[in-house]
C-alpha cells in the first residue's frame, strides 16, 4: 500500500510543503492529499488590502496542484485523532474521516480574542478571507462617512489601519493600542511610522486597553468609550483549538510542541509547519507567527518527512528571524532589521523602497506557490518501508 501523507491547510506553509513533497516523492510509494477550507490559495498578508477595497488575484488550488498528483479536498477540518491517525473533515456533502500515515499540520492561526466580550459578535478582523470581505462590505456601507477603530498595535493592526485610511480617506480612522505605537521599532523607523500616521490623519490612542466591544462603540478599561461604526480587532493571533483537542502535546497558547525537525514531541508521525508550530529558532527564542516562519518551518518539515520516509539524511534548515516588513499603504513601508536577540537595530529601510521590497517578496512567494513543482516532477525518492525516524542530520 502507498504511504498516505495528509497536509492540513494550504496557506503559505501547507501549499509550499505539499508541492515540494509531490515533486520529490515517488507516486508509486506515496499518496499526498491536501485539505483546505477554501478552494483558493489566500494571500493572507494582503487581506488588509482586500478589506480596504482592493481586488486580489484568485489562485485556485485545483489549478496550482494540477499535474502534481496531489489530491485536493476542499473541506473544513473539524477533528484530528492523533492516536488513531485520522482526520475528520466537513463540507457541503457532510462529514468524512481520512486516514493518514504521516500528517503535516499547517492550519495556521486566526485572530486572538483574548476573552474580550463583544469581539465575536461585533468586531471585524482580517485574519481570513471571509472576514476581510465582511469588513469590506461594512466599509462600503459607510461610504464617505463613518468612524473606524482598529484595536491593536502589532504589524497587522498597523497595516490594516493605514490601508483603510489611504483607500478610504473620507472615513475617520483611529487606532487603540495597549502599549506605545511602534515602541519596538528603532528610533528612525518609529519616527517614519508616526509621520505616516499623521499624513493619513489617523488618531492614535496609546496605553489604551479595550475591554469590551459593542455594536457602535468600544469601551476601554478606564471607562472611555470610543464611538465606532466598524471596530477592527487586530490584537494578535491564536491557533485553532483543534490541535489541543487532538491529543498532541501543545503549549499553553495551543501551539503544537515540536522538535528541531518539526516533529510533534508526542506523536512523531505528525509534523507541523507555520503558525501552529512552537519551535525554538536559531536565536534561542520561539519563532513568531509570521509568513517568514511559515517558510522556514515548512522547509524543515518537508526535509524531515523525506528523510524519515526514505532513509535520507535530514538537512537542517535555518530557523531565523531577521526583521519585520510593514506596509503603510501602497506607496510607503518599513523593513525593520533585528539583532540576534530580536531587538530592533538602528537601521531600517523606509518609504517607497521598503514598499517595493515587501511587494517583491510577496509577489515572489505567490509566484513560487503557484508553481509548486516548477514543471519538474523529479520523483527521486522511494519509500524506505519500516524505517524508523532518521537520526542523521546534516546542514543544508
What's the rounded Cα separation, in Å, for the pair 50 and 164?
A: 10
Query: Which residues lie below 8 Å from residue 1, measured CB to CB, with a gap of 6+?
Result: none
For the full predicted model, state whether its pTM sits above 0.75. Answer: yes
What's the rounded Cα separation, in Å, for the pair 189 and 333?
A: 10
Please check the confidence at residue 389 and state whether its pLDDT lies above 50. no
Bridge partners (DSSP) of residue 88 are 79, 97
**In terms of CATH architecture, what is 113-235+322-371?**
3-Layer(bba) Sandwich (3.50)
Same fold, 3-110+237-321 and 113-235+322-371: yes
Name which CATH class applies to 3-110+237-321.
alpha beta
Mean pLDDT of 49-76: 95
Please check the confidence at residue 254 and state whether its pLDDT lies above 90. yes
Q: Which of 159-173, 189-203, 283-297 has the lowest mean pLDDT?
A: 283-297
DSSP 8-class letter at 250? B
The pLDDT value given to residue 388? 44
Any idea where the domains of the chain sit in the sequence? 3-110+237-321, 113-235+322-371
The pLDDT value given to residue 339? 87
The pLDDT value given to residue 76? 97
Residues 296-345 have pLDDT tens digits of: 999 999 999 999 999 999 999 999 888 889 999 999 999 999 888 888 99
Amino acid at each position: 500500500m502507498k504511504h498516505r501523507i495528509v497536509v492540513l491547510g494550504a496557506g503559505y506553509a501547507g501549499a509550499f510543503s505539499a508541492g515540494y513533497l509531490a515533486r520529490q516523492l515517488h507516486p508509486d510509494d506515496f499518496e499526498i492529499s491536501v485539505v483546505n477550507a477554501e478552494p483558493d490559495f489566500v494571500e493572507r498578508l494582503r487581506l488588509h488590502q482586500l478589506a480596504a477595497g482592493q481586488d486580489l488575484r484568485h489562485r485556485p488550488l485545483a489549478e496550482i496542484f494540477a499535474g502534481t498528483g496531489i489530491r485536493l479536498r476542499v473541506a473544513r477540518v473539524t477533528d484530528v485523532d492523533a492516536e488513531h491517525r485520522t482526520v475528520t473533515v466537513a463540507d457541503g456533502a457532510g462529514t468524512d474521516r481520512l486516514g493518514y500515515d504521516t500528517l503535516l499540520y499547517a492550519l495556521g492561526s486566526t485572530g486572538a480574542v483574548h476573552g474580550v466580550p463583544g469581539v465575536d459578535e461585533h468586531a471585524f478582523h482580517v485574519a481570513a478571507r471571509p472576514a476581510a470581505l465582511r469588513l469590506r462590505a461594512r466599509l462600503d456601507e459607510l461610504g464617505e462617512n463613518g468612524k473606524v477603530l482598529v484595536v491593536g498595535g502589532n504589524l497587522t493592526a498597523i497595516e490594516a489601519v493605514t490601508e483603510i485610511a489611504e483607500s478610504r480617506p473620507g472615513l475617520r480612522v483611529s487606532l487603540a493600542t495597549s502599549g506605545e505605537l511602534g515602541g519596538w521599532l528603532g528610533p528612525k523607523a518609529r519616527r517614519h511610522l508616526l509621520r505616516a500616521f499623521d499624513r493619513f490623519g489617523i488618531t492614535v490612542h496609546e496605553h489604551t486597553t479595550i475591554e469590551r466591544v459593542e455594536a457602535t462603540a468600544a469601551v476601554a478599561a478606564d471607562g472611555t468609550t470610543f464611538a465606532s461604526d466598524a471596530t477592527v480587532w487586530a490584537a494578535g493571533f491564536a491557533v485553532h483549538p483543534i490541535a489541543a483537542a487532538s491529543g498532541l502535546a501543545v503549549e499553553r497558547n495551543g501551539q503544537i510542541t515540536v522538535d528541531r525537525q518539526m516533529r510533534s514531541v508526542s506523536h512523531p508521525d505528525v509534523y507541523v509547519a507555520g503558525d501552529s508550530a512552537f519551535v525554538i529558532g536559531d536565536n534561542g527564542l520561539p519563532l513568531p507567527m509570521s509568513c517568514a516562519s511559515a517558510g522556514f518551518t515548512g522547509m524543515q518539515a518537508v526535509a524531515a518527512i523525506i528523510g524519515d520516509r526514505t532513509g535520507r539524511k535530514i538537512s537542517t534548515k535555518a530557523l531565523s528571524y531577521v526583521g519585520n516588513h510593514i506596509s503603510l499603504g501602497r506607496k510607503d513601508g518599513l523593513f525593520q532589521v533585528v539583532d540576534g536577540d530580536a531587538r530592533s537595530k538602528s537601521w531600517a529601510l523606509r518609504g517607497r523602497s521598503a514598499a517595493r521590497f515587501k511587494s517583491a517578496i510577496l509577489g515572489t512567494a505567490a509566484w513560487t506557490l503557484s508553481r509548486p513543482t516548477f514543471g519538474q516532477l523529479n520523483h527521486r525518492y522511494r519509500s524506505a518501508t519500516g524505517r524508523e525516524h532518521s537520526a542523521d542530520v546534516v546542514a543544508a
